[in-house]
Amino acid sequence: MWEDEKRMTFTEHLAELRMRIIYSGIAVIICMVVCYIFSNAILKGLQIPLTFLQDLGIVNFTGSGSGKESVSERTPSEIPWVVLNPFEIIILKIKVAGYGGLILALPYVIWQACAFVFPGLKPNERKVAKIIIFGCSSLGILGVIVAYFGVIPLVMPYLLQWVPKGWEIQLRANETISVIVLLIFGFALAFQFPMVILALVYLDLLSPDTLRKIRKFVIVGLSVISAILTPPDPISMIIMLVPLTVLYEVSIWVSYLVRRRSSVAL
C-alpha cells in the first residue's frame, strides 16, 4: 500500500486522514477499556519495583522509618497502600487505563500515521522515517527498563532514609503510582535525545566534529537534566546520567555513519 503512487485529490486526502484518525481513536478507546479491566494487575505490576526492596529486606513499608527492626513483620510482595477517599482508587484506575491504553494502542496509531504519510515520501525518506521510528521505540523501551529495574528500586530506599525514626511509612496509592509512571515516562522521553542529535546531523545542522568539541558542555547539561528529572539525591542522578552519557558517545560515532549516508544520498 505504501508503494502505491496513485495520486489523490485534496478532499480524498482529508477523507483518508479523517478515517485513519477515527480508526486510531477507536483503537485507543478499546485499549483503554481493556487496561481498565486489567487495572488491578497493572497496579500490581507498577508496585513490583518497590517490592524488590521489601522482599530483599532492605526496607519495610509496614514498619517505622529508618529502621529494620520490623522486617520480620513484613508481607513479601505486598505494600499497604493508603486510599483517602472512595473515589481515589477509581480515579487512579482511570489514569492507569488512560496511560496504558495510549501505550498499548501506540503501535497501531504509528502504523496508521505511516500508512497516511509514507505514500507521499521518496524511498530514501521512507527509509529514514523507518529508522527514526525503530530508534525512538528502542530507546524508549531502554529508558523504561532503566527506570523500572534500576532507578525506582534503588532510589526509594534513599528517599525513605529521610523519614525520621519512629514515623510510620505509608504510601498513598494515587501519588506514589503517579510518581512511578512519571519517572518511567521521563526516562523514556530523556532517552530520545540521541535520535534528536542524529536528526540534526542528518539535516546538516550539526557535525560529528562539533559534537566532539561540545562534549564537556553537553555532559554538564545532561547532569542538570538528570538532577531535575530525578529525586534530589546523587545516586539517582548518576543512574540517569551514566546511560545518557554513553548514548551521547554512541551518537557521536553513529553520526559519522549518518553523515556519510546523507552525503551519498545527495
* DSSP track, 205-236: SS-HHHHHHTHHHHHHHHHHHHHHHS-SSHHH
Residues 6+ apart with CB under 8 A from 46: 96, 177, 180, 181
- Residue 240 falls inside a structural domain: no
pLDDT(205) > 70: yes
- Which domain range does residue 134 map to? 10-191
DSSP state of 2: T
Q: Which band of pLDDT confidence, cut at 50, 70 and 90, is reported for residue 59? A: low
- Residue 183 falls inside a structural domain: yes
Rounded Cα–Cα distance for residues 77 and 74 (Å): 9
Provide the domain count of the chain. Answer: 1
Q: Please give the share of the chain, as a percent, with pLDDT higher than 90.
A: 14
- Residue 126 falls inside a structural domain: yes
C-alpha cell at 60: 519495610
- Residue 201 falls inside a structural domain: no
Pair 103, 27: CB distance under 8 Å: no
- Residue 250 falls inside a structural domain: no
Predicted local distance difference test score (pLDDT) of residue 232: 67
Phi and psi at residue 206, to the nearest 5°: -140, 155
- Residue 255 falls inside a structural domain: no
Element (H, E) at 171: strand 171-172
What percent helix, strand, coil does the chain show, rounded to 5?
A: 75, 0, 25
- pTM, whole model, 2 decimals? 0.75
Pair 239, 151: CB distance under 8 Å: yes
Predicted local distance difference test score (pLDDT) of residue 97: 92
Question: For 66-109, how does the pLDDT look when each residue is reduced to its tens digit (9 = 90+)?
Answer: 444 443 344 445 667 888 888 888 999 999 999 999 989 998 99
Based on its alpha-carbon atoms, the radius of gyration of the chain, rounded to whole angstroms, reads 23
Reference 175, options 108, 112, 88; nearest CA is: 88
pLDDT(5) > 50: no
Residues 6+ apart with CB under 8 A from 119: 1, 2, 3, 4, 5
Rounded Cα–Cα distance for residues 148 and 145 (Å): 5
Predicted local distance difference test score (pLDDT) of residue 75: 45
- Residue 219 falls inside a structural domain: no
The beta strand positions in 48-152, using DSSP E, are 81-82
Predicted local distance difference test score (pLDDT) of residue 52: 66
Rounded Cα–Cα distance for residues 216 and 221 (Å): 9
> Can you say whether the dihedral through the CA atoms of 199, 204, 208, 211 is positive or negative?
negative
The size of the chain, in residues, is: 266
Question: For 119-134, how does the pLDDT look when each residue is reduced to its tens digit (9 = 90+)?
Answer: 877 887 788 788 888 8
Pair 225, 243: CB distance under 8 Å: no
Predicted local distance difference test score (pLDDT) of residue 237: 79
- Residue 243 falls inside a structural domain: no
